[in-house]
A = this chain, B = another copy of it.
Amino acid sequence: MIQIDGNRLNASLQELARIGATPGGGVTRLTLSDEDKAARDLLARWMTAAGLEVRIDDFGNMSGIRPGTEDAPPVYLGSHIDTVVRGGRYDGALGVMGGLEVIRTLNDHNVQTRLPVSIVNWTNEEGVRFEPATLCSGAIAGAFTRDYVYGIRDRHGYVFREELERIGYLGDESNRPLPASAYLELHIEQGPVLEAAGKPVGVVGGIVGIIWSEVVVTGQSDHAGPSPMPLRKDALMAASTMIASIEKLALDRDDVAVATVGRIRVEPDTINTIPGKAVFSVDFRHPDGETIEALSTDLNRLGESIGRARGVDITVERIWTSTPTPFDPTVVDAIRIACQRLDLPYEEFWSGAGHDAKHLADLVPSGMIFVRSEAGVSHAEIEHSTSEDITAGGNVLLHTALQLAG
């Protein structure tokens, strides 16, 4: 059975990681920086060497098509090569190098596919330099207008379009990587599920829905001394009870619901004053749209009941909703079959984080393959996946692409 060259894939990943390498063993390669340009130039050289014509679109998205026997929309394989500050060597890069390795393997074996196979590098997935994240896959999918994207400034005032032009990657709308027959993204898991399950690869069912809410608890600020406990309206005590219950909402719901309170502040925030106000965020995630709405309803009820019981005012305001994105069943099934053919143990679950594939799924049949992350750590210099797992992921990508491209 045809297989990728695992050594070549791992070597390419490590060579790419030299661009923007940090002393701590990670990578800082912010979107449209000099490091991003250097990495893009290297990718372009590799693409050309693999016989691909490098196409740059009006958002700097890079793609290259390996023709099939039919003149039809390609199967795209991709991800991104920008990173966060002091990020890792694998997040994003794996999907682009994985796609390149598939092309190289098809070349090595003179494989003729029915549909064209293409690779793609999306601009500004991380959203660290230019907010928001998954910007240019989103722009392709119509989530953001071109004027909006072009006008975004980083925190030093540099403008997206000018920076895109500066590094020489402002291309043409006609080069957008569309239409497509399918989109496949190989990515590190960025979570602990595969490690806990002891399996190298994951078949991703979709990208979870997210609801963000802000909770404001208004009680009565007072001196920490003279108020007996039963006469207090302590905003933080009410908030803490509510936060502990929010954890229970997720735990009691099922195995995949998650709830995070990432931000909290109290007023006046002094050691000897009962907090009169507490404000915190709630992030609920779940694959099922109805379930995540039910969690949100539970949160409202929790606020009402704790507010009533404690004589404090609790408001819950929803500030952002992202509906669940199930991946295309045909694509998911192709990934599953690829794992089985390769005799690789796999776990099926949904991605808790967003990816470029979320936007692509709005346009074309899409799917994702996860590779085990050591300790589930990502966005950190110590981010790591073994070369064996990377090779396994590359082979799943190859055999999924072969099924979809015919």
Residues of A within 8 A of B (CB): 189-193, 196, 208, 210, 212, 222-231, 234, 236-237, 239-241, 243-244, 247, 250-251, 255-266, 269-275, 281, 283, 285, 351-354, 376-379
- Once A224-B352, A226-B351, A247-B237 are accepted as A-B contacts, the answer to whether A260 and B231 lie under 8 Å apart by CB is no
A224 touching B271 by the CB < 8 A rule?
no
CB-CB < 8 A to A192: which residues of B?
226-228, 231
**Cα(A256)–Cα(B229), bound, Å:** 8
B223 touching A190 by the CB < 8 A rule?
yes
B222 touching A234 by the CB < 8 A rule?
no
Closest to A193 in B: B228
**Cα(A191)–Cα(B274), bound, Å:** 12
Please give the count of copies of this chain that the complex contains. 2
B258 touching A227 by the CB < 8 A rule?
yes
B227 touching A191 by the CB < 8 A rule?
yes
B237 touching A225 by the CB < 8 A rule?
no
**Cα(A11)–Cα(B108), bound, Å:** 100
Known: A191-B226, A191-B228, A223-B379. 12 other contacts (CB 8 A): A190-B225, A222-B376, A222-B377, A224-B262, A226-B376, A227-B352, A228-B255, A236-B261, A239-B240, A263-B271, A264-B265, A271-B281
The 9 closest A-B pairs by CB, nearest first: A191-B226, A225-B352, A224-B260, A240-B243, A225-B353, A226-B352, A240-B240, A271-B281, A224-B283
- Once A237-B244, A270-B263, A271-B263 are accepted as A-B contacts, the answer to whether A285 and B228 lie under 8 Å apart by CB is no
A274 touching B251 by the CB < 8 A rule?
no
